[in-house]
Amino acid sequence: MKIRIILADDHAIVRQGLSRAIDQEDDMEVIGQASNGRATIDLVRQLAPDILITDISMPDLNGVEATRQVLRECPAVKVIALSMHSSRQFVMEMFRAGAMGYLLKDCDYDELVKAIHTVAEGKVYVSSSIGDVIVEDLLNGRQAGAPTAFSLLTPREREVLQLMAEGNTTRQIARRLFISPKTVEAHRLRVMNKLDIDNVAQLTKYAIQEGLTSPEI
């Protein structure tokens, strides 16, 4: 039986290239593709893949939050992050969200195949180049990184933060999340208080640093 895979990345050329390569494998097939976090969640619900390979920086809902929601609804799905981010912050956030694998986008294709097989067997796979990050945390006695201001935000507050940073108005965010504009404003105030930020420009910069969005969005 083939390993059924969904690809999530906001760059079509990345998805298409990976899809063509993976479909050449005898024991794997790409059954769906998504360009943002919300579409990813919907696709996982519909298709119930074995593995989700996801980027972190995606519009509408980033890969970390998408992973949390996917695993909350479909805990049998195994998630592999495929990202350009190699810093401790991004690696740890993905593993906290429930990912079982983490690869950098500059890895060899053969390593991706190895990661898919490893994760499909229920084991964790981490690129050797970022494995040092986890080892260093363990040696220093850290528990998946020290708590940060960002970690204090609720999932809904993170969604509002990302949508604000992407330039959506209060009414647009309200429509997108099916909540009232007053509720959006309440979330916005709590986010600013928790992060000690007092304007949208700083929020946008913070969201980029946290991988919630990217400069080109």
pLDDT tens column, 186-211: 998 899 888 888 887 788 778 777 76
Cite the residue boundaries of each domain of the chain with CATH code 3.40.50.2300.
Answer: 3-139
3-state secondary structure of 15: helix
Quote the CA–CA distance of 6 and 212 in Å, as a whole number: 21
Taking the C-alpha atoms of residue 159 and residue 76, their distance in angstroms, rounded to an integer, is 24
Question: Once rounded to an integer, what is the mean pLDDT over residues 141-170?
Answer: 76
CB atoms within 10 A of CB 158: 21
Most confident of 1-15, 58-72, 116-130, 188-202: 1-15
Sheet strands (E) in 59-196:
78-83, 101-104, 125-126
Question: Which residues, in sequence order, are bridge partners of residue 102?
Answer: 81, 126
**Residue 90: its pLDDT value, please?**
83
Pick the CATH number of 3-139 from 3.40.50.2300, 3.40.50.720, 3.40.718.10, 3.40.50.970: 3.40.50.2300
**What does pTM read for this prediction?**
0.73
Categorize the per-residue pLDDT at 57 as very low, low, confident or very high, splitting at 50, 70 and 90.
confident
**In terms of residues, how long is the chain?**
217
Encoded amino acid at 158, one letter: R
- All CATH 1.10.10.10 domain ranges of the chain, comma separated, are 150-209
CA 134 to chain CA centroid, nearest Å: 18
Phi-psi region of 61 (alpha: psi -120 to 50; beta: other; left: phi over 0): beta
- CATH fold of 150-209, please? Arc Repressor Mutant, subunit A (1.10.10)
pLDDT tens for residues 65-113? 999 999 999 999 999 999 988 877 788 888 888 999 999 999 999 999 9
Task: Give the CA distances from residue 44 to residues 115, 133, 141, 178, in Å, rounded to whole numbers and listed in that order.
Answer: 20, 30, 36, 21
